[in-house]
Amino acid sequence: MRTQHSYSSALPSAPPQPAPRPPAHAALRPAVNRLLASLPPGLQQRLHGLGSRVTLEKSAVLIEAGAPQTDLYFPCSGLLSLRAMTQDGNSVELMMLGREGVTPPVAVIASPPAAYTTRVTVAGEALRLRADVLQAECDRYPVLQRALIQQWHAMLTEIALGSACHRFHTARQRLACWLLMASERIQSSRIELTQEQLGEVLGLQRQGVTVANVALKDAGAITSRHGRIRIADRARLQAVSCECYAQKP
């Protein structure tokens, strides 16, 4: 119920008081990227001011293998795929990256040509910063440098797990693991990817993706239709997945 105010007719109404001014950092868009959110608020504000918010269009290539690493991307939503490419155009995903980190973290230590291609798997947004600017900020703020080195270590660990997974686990297990990890990063049980796109990230032929997809549907773990996959039963999907999901960083 709205509170009713009464005023004496003998006294003039008090002039409205201005609302308290919010702190300067309240005007910023929240740091959805978890690595940025782990930093002190003042440093978050500074990095947002030095960078720019960019849209991540699905299938866009952010960094080409062999190209200079001039920019870094802190995803705030969406999903990136770090891929090894062959000369004949085939590819396999080394790891996926969501709002938990940044790519490529190695660029803050050195600026060698990119060893992998970074492509957008699920559209979203990111904070983009120039590599030389972030290098200078790391010199000023050791806490930032430590966070980026920790992220680099986590990425190397995931790449190592992925190498073993590609070698020893079945297509069904790998697809289940990939769907679980992707859904966590985008915070959704629905993923829009065609079987051809799944084949690219998993390094499988279309027939292999089809067989794995049907097996997961028959197990009641997922539903899929026209390039849209939905995790129907997460517990069943975990039961089908390999141990790599439990070992993820």
Looking up residue 233, the CATH number of its domain turns out to be 1.10.10.10
Whether residues 155 and 41 fall in one domain: yes
Residue 130: alpha-carbon gap to chain centroid: 18
CA angle 146, 100, 39 (to 5 degrees): 45
Q: How many domains does the chain have?
A: 2
Q: Worst-scoring range by mean pLDDT, 5-9, 35-39, 123-127, 217-221?
A: 5-9
Averaged pLDDT for residues 243-249: 86
| Final residue of a structural domain among 148, 165, 182 | 165
In the numeric block, which tokens belong to residue 49? 């001011």
Higher-pLDDT residue of 18 and 135 is 135
Tens digits of residue pLDDT in 41-62: 999 999 999 999 999 999 999 9
Q: Return the axis-axis angle of helices 195-202 and 206-218, rounded to nearest 10°.
A: 110
Q: What is the mean pLDDT of the chain?
A: 86
At residue 16, the pLDDT reads: 45
User: Max CA-CA distance within the chain?
Assistant: 88
Whether residues 123 and 175 fall in one domain: no
- Which residue spans within the chain are E strands per DSSP? 52-56, 61-63, 71-75, 79-85, 91-97, 117-122, 124-130, 190-192, 222-225, 228-231
In angstroms, the CA 127 to CA 76 distance is 7
Range of the domain at 54: 29-165
Whether residues 34 and 149 fall in one domain: yes
Whether residues 150 and 107 fall in one domain: yes
- Which residue spans within 141-227 are E strands per DSSP? 190-192, 222-225
Instruction: Answer whether 29's CB lies under 8 Å from 35's CB.
Output: no
At residue 50, the pLDDT reads: 97
Instruction: Categorize the per-residue pLDDT at 83 as very low, low, confident or very high, splitting at 50, 70 and 90.
Output: very high
| Final residue of a structural domain among 165, 189, 211 | 165
CB atoms near residue 73 (< 10 Å): 24
Nearest Cα residue to 161 out of 75, 209, 93: 93
CATH of the domain at 41: 2.60.120.10
Task: Show the 3-state SS of 99-149.
Answer: CCCCECHHHHCCCCCCCCEEEEEECEEEEEEEHHHHHHHHHHCHHHHHHHH
CA quadruple 20, 24, 25, 29: dihedral, nearest 10: 80
At residue 5, the pLDDT reads: 43
Averaged pLDDT for residues 163-172: 93
In angstroms, the CA 88 to CA 108 distance is 31
In angstroms, the CA 179 to CA 234 distance is 10
Whether residues 89 and 212 fall in one domain: no
Specify the DSSP element, H or E, that contains 182. Answer: helix 171-186
Q: Worst-scoring range by mean pLDDT, 22-36, 60-74, 120-134, 216-230?
A: 22-36
| Final residue of a structural domain among 132, 149, 165 | 165
Tens digits of residue pLDDT in 169-228: 999 999 999 999 999 999 999 999 999 999 989 989 889 999 999 999 999 999 999 889
In the numeric block, which tokens belong to residue 111? 């600026």
Q: Which region holds residue 4: left if phi is over 0, alpha if psi is between -120 and 50, else beta?
A: beta
